[in-house]
Structure formats: structure tokens, C-alpha cells
Structure 1
Amino acid sequence: MPEQLIIDCDVHVGPKNPEEIKKHLDQRWWDRFAMSSRDIYSHPTYVNRTDAVPPNGNPIGSDPEFLREQLVDEYGINHVILLQRPFTNQIPYVEYATALSSAYNDWITETWLGQYNHDGVFKGSITISTQDPLGAAKEIDRWGGCPQFVQVLSDSGARAPYGQSQYYPIYEACVRHDLPFAMHAGADGIGISILPSTGYPTHYIEWSTCHSLSYQTHLVSLLVEGVFERFPTLKVVLVEGGVSWLPTLLWRLDQQYERFRSEVPWLRRKPSEYIRDHVRITSQPLESPVNSRHLLKMLEMADAERILMFSSDYPHWDFDSPKHAFPKLPDTMRKRIFYENARELYKL
């Protein structure tokens, strides 16, 4: 038994080769198929840890035994929440976007959640394309009864803020199967997805720094559109979008609510009061002020003890080791961040 119980809520895996995905696509899509990427904002140095290449030469994040060695065994991790990244929200042909999402779900069920998962450590995410809400809902219904899937996953990059009514079929399906809806940063402004900033940044550093703007846009939309009143059991997970922006955003939103509450009469509480019941945030990348006391204060203001879940972002270059990701935390806060919040959310 490890000294500290840990659930890692953001671990990226991929296929060993494109054929692993292609074989799950209907033949009519084969000429269109390509492994998607963020071609407009490519990483200027390197995306992954330089030591993350498996000894057998397979692509980074494709070898289950090497991942176990570097992550699960090294840190005594109890469960790993897997996130595959097909980047389908950027695709304008919505039928193909959903078909590609479906192929990734077939692949991960066969491999990481199937033949690679003898010990049950790996838990999966149902990938969907939010530009096709009805197709996304069908995909959730297809896999919602599989116990190895613990959430629904899409990109933060989208055509509209996630509180708007066109996404309701997705949330209805999430509620039917008691699955959280998670969004991961990274497809904003790519393909048909819209940027939350004013125009297009010049550099990767601008684009990546402003990922938190997308999360703020989606969260405010979900709150003021009354999604959590309409779907009172829905949970939302914000993955890899930072943490420190949350308290000040909610202060501002609550202040605006006091003045403009007549515009949103469906809200029964202040916007900030929905967070603990409905929203969870993963820890990586955790902003790191020079003075560690400031970080602890920020975590307290963000109600981290109840809403924050540890994530390493393995195998990426800015991987957060469970041993070094946080300064000294109160024991109760540490236990909840590293284990209890995710255990409760994902029912592990």
C-alpha cells in the first residue's frame, strides 16, 4: 500500500501507430483520415518529457508497461484517468468528427481499458465532438454503461460557450449515465473552434498562457445560462487550464450578479455557490508564485480542498510529480486533492 493514496486525473495516451485508429473507422472515411494535431500553434521546443520514449521505440504515451514504470509504480498511483486527444472539435465535417471520436473510443476500450488493464488501474474518457451534439449524445449512450469509462471528454476549443442550449443533448446524456463532462485545453482557435481572445496571438506562449480565458468563458456561460439548475446532477471538470484565476473571476461574477440578477431569474443562488456542487479543476499546470505562502492562500480562496484534483499531465514536458507539485499542505487538504475529490467524483 503506497504511503499516499493518489488518483492522477490527466494522463495522455495514444496509439502505437495510425492503423490502430483507422481500423475502427468505416472505410468511407479512410481517404480523409489523418492523425489530427494543433498545426497552427505548434510547440516551439518539445511537447513531451525527453525521458518518456519507451525502450522499444514506440511513440511516447503508447506503451502501457513503460507508463506503469514511470508513473504508476514510481509514485504508487492507485488510478490513472486516461485522456486521448484526437482534436476533433476543430473539424468542420461534423459527421466525420464524430466518426473519428468513435474510433478513438473503440481503440482505447480495446487497448488501455482492455488488454492493457489487467490490474484495473486505468480509467477512460469517452471522447466526443461538441460541434455535433446529437452525435455526441449517441456516443455517450453507446459507452455510458461501460464501467471503465468515468467521464465524457472534449476540447475547450468550441464554436460557442458551453452553457448555450445547443449542447443540452450532451448534458442530458451525461446525466443519464451519471458521467461528468470534462473539457481539456488545446484546440482553441484551431479549425472551426473560436478563440476566446481578441484575434489570433502571434506566438505559442501567448496562446498557451491564455488557455485560462477559454475556461473562464465556458464557466461563466455554464453558470449564468443556468445549466446547473436545468441539470442539477451534472458535474463539469476543467482539465489543464490553471487554477489561480478562479477566485477573482467568481468575485467579479458575483458582484455582477448582484446588479444584473433580473437578467438571469433562473439562478437560485449566487454563481459562486454552484461551484462546490458542480465543478472540479485539475491541478496541472499549477501556477507557482515565488512565495509559496501566496500559493497556499490562493488554494484556500479557490476552495481547493473541495474542488481541486491532482493531475500530473504525463508525459508532457511540464509534468508535475506528486512528490513536488505542491508546497506543504494541511493533511486534510492534501488527502482530498490527491485522492478523495477524484474518488468521489469518479466513484472509484
Structure 2
Amino acid sequence: MRPSYGVVDADGHIVESEAKLMDYLEGPYAEIKRFHSFLPGPDGIVGGGTIAGKDYFDSSLGGKLGAHGGPGFPSPQEWLDNADTGNLEHIFLFPTTLLGYSRIQDPDYLIALTRAYNNYVSEEWLKVNPRFKSVALMPFTDIEESIKEMRRCVTELGFSGVFLAAVGFGLLGEKRTHAFYAEAERLGTFVAVHGGHATREQRYTKFIQRHTIGFPVSAMQQMMHMTYEGVYEKFPDLRVGYLEAGATWVPYMLNRMDEEWEKRGWFEAVECKKKPSDYICGGNVFIHAEPGEQLLPEVIRIMGQNRLFYASDWPHWDHEFPESIDHIMDRTDLTEQDKMDILRNNALEMYGIS
């Protein structure tokens, strides 16, 4: 069953073309020869790994799952045609190739590439159809440059938020990051913390191992650090979402953080003035709900009705769109209001769309 209202896809993906991105590089990088290994893939590989490290896994199982589960490089029109099958009203776009951009170690190249990607998305997606929305990539190793790029993307290019990778930029609650969050709060800009793979140093030998553990653990790590280091205390109006990690880890993590805070917070988390669960459940923190998670009603009971949101993840190998909408609508343990909040209302609030 499909809903009568328009669904909001809080996390769909562009499969960005390297040739297109090269057209948007500026400065000295515009003169670099275009060759296939120039950009990092989702695992951070660049030309055999000299910039971002060698941690390649075959997520498509030799193509059996499809390169991304959909067209290799879906055009805007293909995306819209696909969106119509699920009655998507708004589509918030994230990268694919550049999901691993946080592992780029050359700071100047990172700045140039994030700017190129943001310009590419603005020109070739956002201007095509108003249903397309997007988050901007940030060169987060350089906070001053990130603030400048956030201002440009939000005020000049019409982006709806910013994307911080949960793996590769270190711990996102570090004091050096607080000026960025202050400006995001001032601008009313949503901050998306997108889950990422476990690193190669953790010695997983198969993609299934890495993918299973990496996304939720990276979200847990960043939520914990941002909370203890006072991000949610200092910036109460900052909207933050944790994407592509599911939702049912949150009650466990809230219990664990509260217990640790009660015993040690007075000394080791002095910027966290309240119980961690008070910030996560009572503030502006949003969580991606997977349609098949059995404990979603319990998460709603603990966190409140307006915290969980839907995402298609199309066209990645593990998406189930548009059937994923049916999975939510067919559930008997969620109220109709719960379903509408997950499929529409909460994402609109999260992204600040009236």
C-alpha cells in the first residue's frame, strides 16, 4: 500500500560522473589529466590507494547485486522517473563516489573537490527540478574553509544542509568543530552525519563484516562524542541527523551514555550539563529508520514521535525502493500518524522545509 501524501526521501544518492566533476574543478586542479583513478571511491581508494589508502571490497558481488542496484549513472530524469514510482515529493541527494571524500589527505585537493562537487550538484541537479534538494560536502579538516563553503552553499546555491562523513574526519565533537556548528545553527542549516564503513585497520576480511558493523558503530561513536563534548548543550537549535545506520541502536546507546554520565560526567563530560538522553530525545536530533526494524515502536516510545525519518538509499546495492515504503505502510505495530511522521513530516522538520 502506498500513502496518499507525498513521501520525503531524506537520503537518496547521485552516482556522480568523474568526467562531470572534472569539469567543475577550479584552479590548478583543473589542469590535471582526467583519468579514472583520480577520484576516491566509496572506500576512499584513489589511484591504487596513495592518497586515501587501500581498502577495496566488492560490494556488488561481481555485479550480481548491480553496480549500485540501479542505473550506473542515473540522470536527473531517470531519478525523477524512479521517484514517481514511490510518490516522492522531495529527494535529498547525497554522493556515491565521494562518500569516501573524508579520507582524502591532501587538504587543498579536499577543498577543491568538495567545491567542485557542490557546484556540480547545484548546476546539474538542483536547477533541473525543485523536487531535488541536496546537502553540501564540507572540507572538514579545515573548519574555516568549511564555514565559508557552508555559507556559500546555503545562501547562494540553495543547499538544504551539509554532509559530514562519520568516518574519516576524526571525532565530530572536537572543540575545533564548534565554530562550524555555531554558524550552522545561525544559518538554520541541517547537519547530516552519514554512516561509513569500518576502516581497514579493523581487519575485516569481507564486505558483509565491514558493512554490518561500520555504519551503526560510526554513528554511535559520533553521537556519543558530540553529546559528551557539549555540542547539543552549546547549540540547542542545531538540527543533526544520523543517517544510514538504522534506529534501534539508539535506546541501547542512550542507556549506556546516561549510566556513564551519571558516574563520570561531572569530571569527564563537563560540557554535557544534562543526561545525554535529554539532549537526544528532547532536542533536534533525528534518526534514520529502516523499514524492517522490529523495535521501531519502542524507539518512538523512548525518543518521541517526531525523531525518525525514511530514506530510499536508491540506487545503492541494498536499497528496496519503492517497496520499502510499502513495508512501512503495511506495518500493524505503527499508527497511521507514526507512518506519516516517518515518511514525510519528520524529514521536512529535519531539513527545515516548510
8 A Cα contact 1:180 1:236, kept in partner: yes
> CA separation in 1, counterparts of 2:4 and 2:306?
22
**One-letter identity of the residue aligned with 1:73:** D
Quick one: which of 134, 137, 146 aligns to 1:136? 146
- What SS does structure 2 have at the residue aligned with 1:163? coil
> CA separation in 2, counterparts of 1:147 and 1:305?
32
**Partner residue of 2:230?**
226
**One-letter identity of the residue aligned with 1:335:** M
8 A Cα contact 1:155 1:187, kept in partner: no
- Say which structure is richer in helix: 2
**One-letter identity of the residue aligned with 2:103:** Q
8 A Cα contact 1:243 1:287, kept in partner: no
CA displacement, residues 267-324 of structure 1 (integer Å, 9 cap, x when unaligned):
332100111312111224x554xxxxx4344433552622111111011122132112
> CA separation in 1, counterparts of 2:40 and 2:15?
12
The change in CA–CA distance for 1:172 and 1:300 in structure 2 (over 3 A counts) is: closer
**Partner residue of 2:90?**
79
- What SS does structure 2 have at the residue aligned with 1:233? coil
8 A Cα contact 1:48 1:315, kept in partner: no
**Partner residue of 2:9?**
8
Q: For residue 73 of structure 1, report the CA deviation from its aligned partner.
A: 1.1
> CA separation in 2, counterparts of 1:240 and 1:93?
27
The change in CA–CA distance for 1:48 and 1:175 in structure 2 (over 3 A counts) is: farther
> CA separation in 1, counterparts of 2:292 and 2:211?
13
TM-score (norm: length of structure 2): 0.84
8 A Cα contact 1:95 1:132, kept in partner: no
**One-letter identity of the residue aligned with 1:283:** A
Quick one: which of 46, 52, 55 aligns to 2:70? 52
Q: For residue 31 of structure 1, report the CA deviation from its aligned partner.
A: 2.7
**One-letter identity of the residue aligned with 2:319:** F
1:203 counterpart = 2:214: no
- What SS does structure 2 have at the residue aligned with 1:98? helix
1:69 counterpart = 2:74: no
The change in CA–CA distance for 1:146 and 1:346 in structure 2 (over 3 A counts) is: farther
> CA separation in 2, counterparts of 1:188 and 1:50?
20
Quick one: which of 270, 276, 282 aligns to 2:288? 282
**Partner residue of 1:21?**
21
CA displacement, residues 40-90 of structure 1 (integer Å, 9 cap, x when unaligned):
14215146577722xxxxx33x311211112x2111111111112422210
> CA separation in 1, counterparts of 2:299 and 2:165?
25
> CA separation in 2, counterparts of 1:10 and 1:203?
25
8 A Cα contact 2:197 2:211, kept in partner: no
1:258 counterpart = 2:262: yes
> CA separation in 2, counterparts of 1:68 and 1:245?
33
**Partner residue of 1:56?**
none
Aligned pairs (5 A) from 1:151-300: 151-186=161-196, 188-189=198-199, 199-210=202-213, 211-263=215-267, 264-276=269-281, 277-284=283-290, 286=291, 288=293, 294-300=294-300
> CA separation in 1, counterparts of 2:241 and 2:254?
17
> CA separation in 2, counterparts of 1:107 and 1:347?
23
> CA separation in 2, counterparts of 1:51 and 1:317?
4
TM-score (norm: length of structure 1): 0.85
**Partner residue of 2:51?**
none
> CA separation in 1, counterparts of 2:335 and 2:11?
23
- Stretches of structure 2 that go unaligned for 5 or more consecutive residues are 46-54
8 A Cα contact 2:198 2:211, kept in partner: no
> CA separation in 2, counterparts of 1:159 and 1:32?
28
8 A Cα contact 2:69 2:317, kept in partner: no
Aligned pairs (5 A) from 1:95-106: 95-106=108-119
The total of aligned residue pairs comes to 324
- What SS does structure 1 have at the residue aligned with 2:242? strand
CA displacement, residues 185-214 of structure 1 (integer Å, 9 cap, x when unaligned):
235527xxxx7xxx3322211111112111
> CA separation in 2, counterparts of 1:206 and 1:150?
33
- Stretches of structure 1 that go unaligned for 5 or more consecutive residues are 54-58, 289-293
**Partner residue of 2:48?**
none
> CA separation in 2, counterparts of 1:137 and 1:271?
27
**Partner residue of 2:106?**
93
> CA separation in 2, counterparts of 1:266 and 1:112?
40
1:109 counterpart = 2:122: yes
CA displacement, residues 201-251 of structure 1 (integer Å, 9 cap, x when unaligned):
222111111121111111000111111112222111111012111101101
The change in CA–CA distance for 1:209 and 1:302 in structure 2 (over 3 A counts) is: farther
Identity %: 24
Structure 1 runs, 4 residues or longer, greater than 3 Å off: 46-51, 296-302
